[in-house]
Amino acid sequence: MENNRAQWGSKIGFILAAAGSAVGLGNIWKFPGKAFEGGGGAYILIYLAIVVLIGFPVMLSELSVGRAAQANAIDSFHKLGYRGFRWVGVTGVAVAFIVTSYYCHVGGWVLRYVVSYITEAQTVYADPLGYFYGLLGYNAATGETWFPLTAILFAAVFMAVNAFIIIKGVEGGIEKFNKVGMPALFVILVVLLVRTVTLDGAQAGFAYMLTCDWSKVGFSTFLSALGQAFFSLSLGMAIMITYGSYLPKHENLGKNTALICTMDTLVALIAGFIIVPAVFATLGSENVGKGGGFAFASLAGVFQNMPGGVFFGVLFYLLLLFAALTSSISLIEGVVAFLTERFGWKRKPTAIIVCTLMFLIGCLYTMSQAAFSIKGIWFDFANGVSFPIFGDFMEFLTDRLLIPVCALGVCIFVGWIWKPENAVREIELDGKPFKLAKVYSVLVKYVAPISILLIIVASFVTGTTLS
Ligand code: PHE
């Protein structure tokens, strides 16, 4: 094991890196569509409650476990004296592995779109959905399919950039990149928000996002919001434990956690208030979609119909690209940190091997988009044969099952085994009393684990998990 653990070079470096991990495709790509589907204001309220009551205590717990143990996510549990809980770290690292493999491919598609808007925006505009399908290897008009070479090449470039930054290390690579990437992201976000606010007809979209339509809310909304909050805050995936372990003892954990949660949630809300009203204004409310096709295909209509659209299109995909990069770096770091510490492997070859493996597994994801989501390359979808493992199933497995289970494990560990008093002691190492100690103990012992459990069980019992 390495004795000289890496540390963040500065406080702001850590905050930006942690916020960079949290702010990602989840906030900009997933949140707006989910908020629209879940009834606008109603979904937002549920989401905020979940962030405060569950997200905050879980993140604080992960950061304090990591900093107390000074180890990667798996060994942290062991080091604090409870081997039995290593499964939480193992699940987290495994989830990080699965998520990164598809996340980096979506990152590759985003990179492709940055280039597309610069070089051939008119082609994208001419047939947005056709362009998106084409990238994934499918021609809707002829039914023809092919190997999605362009998408895979761009994913390879995206992954290579990640590997490069990871190899540079915690302070020299991750921290440095985030110090540039995160401020850039905020600037772009503000520019895009101003653009939306000044669009004719955006008011209806704002009104929708501010009105609570409870008729659209069901158990599945809670589960979806819970999965979304965990995913967005980078919880239940070994990341915050790892990042916490690089944090010096004199840093104030409570404040940092609150700051990261706030930044992440703000970005999600702003993204929602950019995208939903922009679609209302340019395409009409019936066209607010969700998921991948939404960010890639529907938004083309938005940019096409707005003055200066190509410029804002490039800006938007650059925003997505920065957000995706700062997050994928953290995902890979969680896995690399474990392997280098545990087996004493060198950072560089480990990073290369991990990135290559993740990239290859992700290729199945990109390749099965046309097969599963659209039409078969390998599988004959028309005849009812499909193999959804690499389609939406991956997201279901991680967001809605493994991540909540892993977060539940963290709550049980900190709440009942390691005990909140120890977490509070770790939190107070900066010399200041933690004012929310009592509230935190109650949240981590009862409120968070019980709600997580209830939501998982309820959604399975009512069979609404896959909606
Ligand atoms: N939080 C990131 C997002 O919203 C994704 C992520 C999850 C990154 C877990 C790291 C760990 O896109």
Q: What tens digit of pLDDT does each residue of 310-326 get?
A: 998 998 898 889 889 98
Q: Is-contact 210 31, C-beta < 8 A?
A: no
What is the structure's pLDDT at 380? 37
Buried b (16+ CB within 10 A) or exposed e, 74-100: bbbbebbeeeebeebbbbbbbbbbbbb
Q: For residues 3 and 71, give the distance between their C-alpha atoms in angstroms, rounded to a whole number.
A: 10
Q: Quick one: which atom of ligand 1 is closest to the CA of 234?
A: 9
What is the structure's pLDDT at 211? 93
Q: What is the DSSP letter of 361?
A: H
Q: For 334-384, what is each residue's pLDDT tens digit?
A: 888 889 988 999 999 999 999 999 999 888 878 777 655 554 334 433 333
What is the structure's pLDDT at 370? 64
What is the structure's pLDDT at 218? 83
Q: Quick one: which atom of ligand 1 is closest to the CA of 29?
A: 12
Pocket lining: 26 vs ligand 1, CB cutoff 6 Å = yes
Q: For residues 413 and 325, give the distance between their C-alpha atoms in angstroms, rounded to a whole number.
A: 31
> Residue 127, Cβ neighbours under 10 Å: how many?
15
Pocket lining: 192 vs ligand 1, CB cutoff 6 Å = no
What is the structure's pLDDT at 122? 94
Pocket lining: 116 vs ligand 1, CB cutoff 6 Å = no
Q: Quick one: which atom of ligand 1 is closest to the CA of 331?
A: 10
Which CB contacts under 8 angstroms, 24+ apart, belong to 192-198? Answer: 192/274, 192/312, 192/315, 192/316, 192/319, 193/270, 193/273, 193/274, 195/274, 195/278, 195/306, 195/308, 195/312, 196/273, 196/274, 196/275, 196/277, 196/278, 196/281, 197/277
The pTM is what? Answer: 0.86
Query: Which residues, in sequence order, are CB contacts of 247 under 8 Å at separation 6+?
Result: 7, 8, 14, 63, 66, 67, 253, 256
Residue 138 has φ and ψ, to the nearest 5°, of -145, 135
Pocket lining: 27 vs ligand 1, CB cutoff 6 Å = yes
Bridge partners of 212?
40
Query: Which residues, in sequence order, are CB contacts of 227 under 8 Å at separation 6+?
Result: 399, 400, 403, 404
What is the structure's pLDDT at 2? 42
What is the structure's pLDDT at 289? 54
> Residue 122, Cβ neighbours under 10 Å: how many?
9
Q: For residues 359 and 299, give the distance between their C-alpha atoms in angstroms, rounded to a whole number.
A: 27
CA–centroid distance, residue 287 to ligand 1 (Å): 27
Q: Is-contact 105 390, C-beta < 8 A?
A: no
Structure tokens at 175: 């921290």
User: What's the burial of 215, exposed, middle or buried (CB within 10 Å: 0-12/13-18/19+)?
Assistant: exposed
Structure tokens at 67: 């900093």
Pocket lining: 24 vs ligand 1, CB cutoff 6 Å = yes
> Residue 144, Cβ neighbours under 10 Å: how many?
10
Pocket lining: 55 vs ligand 1, CB cutoff 6 Å = no
**For helices 253-282 and 219-232, angle between their N-to-C axes, nearest 10 degrees:** 120
CA atoms within 13 A on the CB side of 267: 30
What is the structure's pLDDT at 290? 46
Q: For residues 224 and 220, give the distance between their C-alpha atoms in angstroms, rounded to a whole number.
A: 6
Q: Quick one: which atom of ligand 1 is closest to the CA of 233?
A: 1
CA atoms within 13 A on the CB side of 307: 4
Nearest alpha-carbon partner for 113 in 357, 290, 310, 274: 310
193: enclosing H helix or E strand: helix 176-197
Q: For residues 246 and 420, give the distance between their C-alpha atoms in angstroms, rounded to a whole number.
A: 21
CA–centroid distance, residue 348 to ligand 1 (Å): 23
- Name residues of the chain where pLDDT drops below 70: 1-5, 285-295, 370-393, 459, 462-467
Q: For residues 27 and 279, give the distance between their C-alpha atoms in angstroms, rounded to a whole number.
A: 17
Rg (CA), the chain: 21
CA–centroid distance, residue 123 to ligand 1 (Å): 31
Q: Quick one: which atom of ligand 1 is closest to the CA of 24?
A: 12
- Residue 235 CA, chain-centre distance (Å), reads 9
What is the structure's pLDDT at 379? 42
Pocket lining: 237 vs ligand 1, CB cutoff 6 Å = yes
Structure tokens at 331: 């995902």
What is the structure's pLDDT at 213? 86
Angle 383-388-389 (CA atoms, 0-180°, nearest 5)? 150
Which residue lies with its CA nearest to atom 12 of ligand 1? 24
Q: For residues 85 and 419, give the distance between their C-alpha atoms in angstroms, rounded to a whole number.
A: 14
